[in-house]
């Protein structure tokens, strides 16, 4: 039995997917979700094989929801927005259905997914794709994180600095520190370069938080943040910082 979820904030849009799914007796629709919050919960609860995901939804969008899920199932996006297609395929989506879509188009997406299932999983190329950041990644305005079962939306303005932490990135804000499964490279690319600088292999700081730069030893420096944190600067990080500050 294939377990699947439909996540969309419009009931009629969900009903059309359910309708099309009737052709597939082997697929069991376990739940319909009204928004990303319900989506995250349902994914954790049911561990579905496949989800149909809308992008524009209340509070957190489909992409942000996916970021909160540890075991990402197969994803077929269903949306009226064609501008997200590239981003969608970067998240390793099975397919991208543009609303309104026909049963034929839906079947093609299902076929694609079923074929993908039948073949041995090729994780390697998918991973490689994930590593390559989009040519023009969308600039981030907020970061969505999960703290236990609570979902928090952090505006980038609230970020003090980021620290690499194994496979994760620690995001420090004035209200605490949050973990996010992403790479430093990802944040270096997607955070506004005038506001955030990668000053070290393991650190990105918010320029607004910087109070001063102090020499540590010969040729090494530390950055002092407003809250008193001292961040080491690498050689290239120091020159990048100087370039951004114009000194």
Partner 1 sequence: MPPFRIIALYVGWGLLWAGVQGWVLCTTGFPVNLAFTDALLTNVLVITGGCAMSITLRFYRPGVRQVVYLMCWSLGLAGVCLLMYTTAIEQLLKPETDYLAFIDQTLPVRLAFNWLMILFIVLQNWLWLYIKEKQQAEERKAATEKLAREAELFTLRQQLQPHFLFNSLNSISALVNTRPEQARKMVQQLSEFLRGTLRRDNQSMVPLADELQHLQFYLEIEKVRFGHRLQTEIICEEEALPLQLPYLLLQPIVENAIKFGLYDTLDDILIRISAHVQDSLLVISTQNPFDGELLQHKQGTGFGLDSLRRRLYLLYARHDLLTTEHQGQVFSTTVKIPQKL
Nearer CB in complex with partner 1: 15/117: 15
N- to C-terminal Cα distance for the chain?
A: 63
Size of the site for partner 1 (CB under 8 A): 27
Does residue 177 interact with partner 1 by CB under 8 A?
Answer: no
**Short-list 110, 187, 126, 184, CA closest to 154:** 187
Report the residue from 155, 201, 211, 216 that binds partner 1 according to the rule CB under 8 A. Answer: 155
- Round to whole Å and give the CA distance between 57 and 65: 10
Report DSSP state, residue 192: -
Does residue 137 interact with partner 1 by CB under 8 A?
Answer: no
Does residue 243 interact with partner 1 by CB under 8 A?
Answer: no
**Nearest distance from C-beta of residue 58 to partner 1, angstroms:** 5
Q: H or E element: which one contains 123? A: helix 123-131
Does residue 19 interact with partner 1 by CB under 8 A?
Answer: yes
Q: By CB neighbour count within 10 A (0-12 exposed, 13-18 middle, 19+ buried), where does 118 fall?
A: exposed
Does residue 147 interact with partner 1 by CB under 8 A?
Answer: no
Does residue 245 interact with partner 1 by CB under 8 A?
Answer: no
Q: H or E element: which one contains 9? A: none
- Round to whole Å and give the CA distance between 2 and 39: 17
Beta-bridge partner residues of 146: 151
Does residue 32 interact with partner 1 by CB under 8 A?
Answer: no
Task: For residue 165, give both structure tokens.
Answer: 């932490």
Stretch that binds partner 1, among 52-60, 177-185, 198-206, 211-219 (CB under 8 A): 52-60
Report the residue from 16, 93, 159, 223 that binds partner 1 according to the rule CB under 8 A. Answer: 16
Instruction: Provide CB contacts within 8 A for 104, sequence distance 6+.
Output: none
**Nearest distance from C-beta of residue 80 to partner 1, angstroms:** 4
Report the residue from 23, 45, 47, 58 that binds partner 1 according to the rule CB under 8 A. Answer: 58
Token pair 């579905």 is found at: 48
- Round to whole Å and give the CA distance between 181 and 183: 7
Binding-residue pattern over the window 88 to 127 for partner 1, x denoting contact by CB under 8 A:
----------xxxx--------------------------
Stretch that binds partner 1, among 121-129, 149-157, 193-201, 233-241 (CB under 8 A): 149-157
Q: By CB under 8 A, name the binding residues for partner 1.
A: 9-13, 15-16, 19, 34-35, 37, 56-59, 80-81, 98-101, 141-142, 153, 155-157
């Amino acid at each position: 039995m294939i377990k699947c979820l439909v996540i969309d904030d419009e009931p009629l849009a969900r009903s059309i997917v359910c309708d099309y799914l009737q052709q597939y007796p082997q697929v069991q629709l376990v739940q319909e979700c009204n928004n990303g919050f319900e989506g995250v919960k349902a994914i954790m609860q049911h561990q579905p094989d496949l989800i149909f995901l809308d992008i524009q939804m209340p509070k957190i969008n489909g992409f942000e929801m996916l970021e909160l899920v540890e075991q990402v199932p197969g994803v077929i996006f269903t949306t009226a927005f064609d501008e997200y297609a590239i981003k969608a395929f970067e998240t390793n989506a099975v397919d991208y259905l543009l609303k309104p879509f026909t049963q034929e188009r839906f079947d093609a997406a299902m076929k694609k997914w079923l074929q993908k299932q039948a073949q041995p999983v090729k994780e390697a190329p998918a991973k490689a794709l994930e590593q390559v950041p989009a040519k023009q990644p969308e600039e981030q305005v907020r970061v969505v994180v999960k703290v236990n079962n609570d979902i928090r939306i952090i505006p980038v303005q609230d970020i003090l600095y980021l620290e690499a932490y194994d496979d994760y990135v620690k995001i420090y804000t004035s209200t605490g520190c949050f973990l996010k499964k992403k790479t430093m490279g990802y944040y270096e690319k997607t955070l506004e370069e005038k506001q955030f600088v990668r000053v070290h292999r393991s650190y990105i700081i918010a320029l607004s938080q910087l109070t001063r730069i102090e020499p540590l030893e010969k040729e090494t420096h530390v950055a002092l943040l407003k809250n008193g944190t001292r961040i080491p600067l690498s050689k290239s990080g120091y020159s990048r910082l100087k370039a951004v500050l114009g000194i």
